[in-house]
Each structure stands twice: as structure tokens, then as C-alpha cells.
Amino acid sequence: MKNIKTKSLVLLLILFSNLHADVAVFPEQEWESKTPDSLGIESEKAEYLFDLAFQDQATQSAVLIKNGYIIKEKYNESFDQESFGTSWSMAKSFYAALIGISIDRGEINSLDDRVSDYVDYYNDERSEITIRQILNMTSGLDFPENEHESMFFRHDQIAYVKEVGVEKLPEQVFEYNNINSMIVGEILKNATGISAEILLEDRIFKPIGIDKFTLWKDGTGNPMTYCCIDMSARDYSRFGLLFSRKGKWHNEQIISENYVNETFTPYWGQTPNWWTDENRGYSLHWWISKYDDDAKIFNASGKFGQYIFVDHENDIIFTRITKYHPMPGSQQNWGFLKYIDVDNVDLWIDVLRFLHGIGIIDLQSDITTPNTFKDGESKEFYSNYGEIMDAISSLSK
């Protein structure tokens, strides 16, 4: 009789253990950590991935997540887990997620609604452009060589957006156009009556436990929905985990699974090879880094090499951000520089750095804006990009 009771107790313990193992783990205020080997990943493979990432001296921090646990993280000298990085265009993926939430809530009918249904000044030659085309970068809006990055240096960036007309028919070609992403904020504001940066805090950040961040606005208070979210690498990873878990956080469906699945379905299979020969696709403001039999890796990405890579089939997130020196404030102030009109973005950056170098301006006091110095510009990370994708995909083999 005692043996039967003992066996029954052991079976119950095994059953409880298996049930517990199937429960998805999410970080609370702090992340739990485990070793790579304990979650079926060879430590040498994780180490190799970090070696590749830190060959680039611009790397500030990198975090590797598996099944909701931090299995490895590393920080460059003078940075730690609390240090902010800036997102640059990774922010596009964040604000695009709010479109999915607004569809879930019935504030927006569908991705195929016309932008002009929500933005009055699009009731002109732009009237047929849809939200889906905006998010897939196929709107056909005017597309200069600088991709409208020069908008970043404007005091009123919505005034700039209003003047950008149509260059070609929608759906003809993929063009990575920052105007598409800035108009997302206008759609959200008019659909909900709430500014996009407030929506992001209330509808995504609070539910997933992000409470330290900066959401940048232009000089007139417009949220910059194409760029510029400051936070730690760990908190960027929370957003990656949300998408890896198909929009669910604990028992709350933050973003519908359907919207996440559509995001992770390739729309545009081949994009321009700017800095790598690797085939990169695009879908709903997310990049597709790898989509083959080895792995399906999507990512949010920023101008100087900021990334949140998501292998959602294997529940792996790898976040890498570059060196950043944040300043106080969350609203751009260009000071006297706002009167200078420069469309050549690289020239503008060089001018800023030159003026800083000779002491005419201090980039951390005379102006207020996100700013990446030379030490945060990636080089080796780009040249190693193919190897890095292979290293991420090898983690689950």
C-alpha cells in the first residue's frame, strides 16, 4: 500500500512538473536568468554570437532571450543593464503595433482602409493610399534619395509630411520612406483621439512592464513615430518577446494573434541591398532577416545598427543596441540650427559634429534631440550580418 502511495505521489509530482514547464515565462520587474545549456542551446554557440556582435566597437549592449529567460547578456565598458540606447527606426515596429491594437478595438476597421478615412489632408491625389500600403512601404509617396530622413531636422515635422505628394501608383515598388511611418501617428491620433506616444505607453509599455523610457517628439509636440524611442536593451527585448509570444503577455492578448501572424508573413520578399548581399524582406514595418528552412528571423532595425531579432518559432530574441549618450528632455529643440535647411542628411550630421568639435555648439546641451556620435555607428556588425543571422539560426540546432 505504501509503495502504491509513493508511486502515485511521484506521478503527481512529474505531472505537476510537466504542467509547470508548459507555462510560458514572462519577465516581471526583473528578468529570470538561465544558462544556455539548461534550455537546450550550446553555450559555445551563444558565445560565438556575442563575439560577432562585440567585434564592432559600436556595440553598447546585447541580450539573448530563450523561452522568456535571459541566457546571456553583455555590456560594453561604462554601460550596464540600465543604460539607455536609442531606437532610431526600430520605433517603426513599435508604433505599427498600435495600428493592430486599434483594429482589435474597432477604432480602425482594417489594414485596407484608406489613410484618407482618418487623415483629412490625404483627400487629394493621395486619397487611395491604404494603411497596409503605408506599413508595407509601398505607398508610392514621393521618395527622395534621403528617404525623407531630413524630416528629422524640421521643427514641425507634420507640416513637412503634409507637403509630400505622390510619385507613383501604390503597390508598384518597395521604398523605405519615413513619411509612411510618420503618418502612422496621424492615423492613430484621429482614429482614437489620443496622441501616439500616449497610446504606446498605455497600450503596450504598461502591460508588458516597461516603465523607464523616452518617447521623442518634434519641436511642436508631434510624436516622431518613425524613430526615436530611448530605453534599455532589456526593455527593447520585452517588445521582441511580445511578438515572439504572438501578442500575448501572461493571460492578456495585447495585440491580436492574427495581426502578429500577418506581420510575420513575408509581404515584400526582396528589398534593396544597401549594405549586405543577404536577402531581406519586409512586412508591416518589420524586416525579414532570414526566411528559409533553417530559420525565420524577423527584426526591428535602426539606422546605426540597432536590432531586435525575433525567431518566434523557437522563442528566441536577440537584441543589440549601439553606444548612446542620452540627454535630458523628450522634445526636440534645435536652437538656432532650426533655421538651417539642409536636405543632405549625411552633410547635416557632419556639420553638427564639426560645430561640436570646434566648440560652437554642445551636442548635449545646446540642442535637445536623440543623437548618435561616431562611437555608436556600426561597421563590423553590418559586414558580419550574414554570419550573425547564421549564428542566431544555429542556436536551435
pLDDT of residue 271: 76
- How far is 140 from 172, CA to CA, in rounded Å? 7
Averaged over 73-93, what is the pLDDT? 98
Give the three-state DSSP class for 335.
Answer: helix
pLDDT of residue 275: 62
> Which residues make Cβ contacts (< 8 Å) with residue 105, sequence separation at least 6?
none
Averaged over 171-191, what is the pLDDT? 97
- Give the least confident one: 76-85, 286-295, 316-325: 286-295
**Is pLDDT of 13 > 60?**
no
Any domain includes 325: yes
Any domain includes 386: yes
Any domain includes 84: yes
Domain CATH code at residue 300: 3.40.710.10
Domain range for residue 292? 37-333+368-394
Q: Are strands 229-232 and 296-301 parallel, antiparallel or unpaired?
A: unpaired
pLDDT of residue 336: 76
* Alpha-carbon dihedral 211, 214, 219, 221, rounded to 10 degrees: -20
**Is pLDDT of 102 > 50?**
yes
pLDDT of residue 351: 80
Tell me the pTM.
0.92
pLDDT of residue 21: 44
- How far is 291 from 297, CA to CA, in rounded Å? 6
Any domain includes 297: yes
Q: Which residue has the higher pLDDT, 90 or 294?
A: 90
Any domain includes 357: no
Total number of domains constituting the chain? 1
119-138 confidence digits (pLDDT tens): 999 999 999 999 999 999 99
**Is pLDDT of 12 > 70?**
no
Averaged over 268-281, what is the pLDDT? 75
pLDDT of residue 11: 44
- How far is 135 from 179, CA to CA, in rounded Å? 11
> Which residues make Cβ contacts (< 8 Å) with residue 176, sequence separation at least 6?
137, 147, 271, 272, 282
Any domain includes 118: yes
Q: Which grid coordinates belong to 274?
A: 544597401
pLDDT of residue 83: 98
**Is pLDDT of 342 > 70?**
no
Any domain includes 87: yes
Cα dihedral across residues 179, 147, 302, 342: positive or negative? negative
pLDDT averaged over the chain?
91
pLDDT of residue 50: 98
pLDDT of residue 31: 97
pLDDT of residue 270: 72
Looking at mean pLDDT, say which of 221-230, 277-286, 364-373 comes out highest.
221-230
- Give the least confident one: 77-81, 128-132, 369-373: 369-373
Any domain includes 109: yes
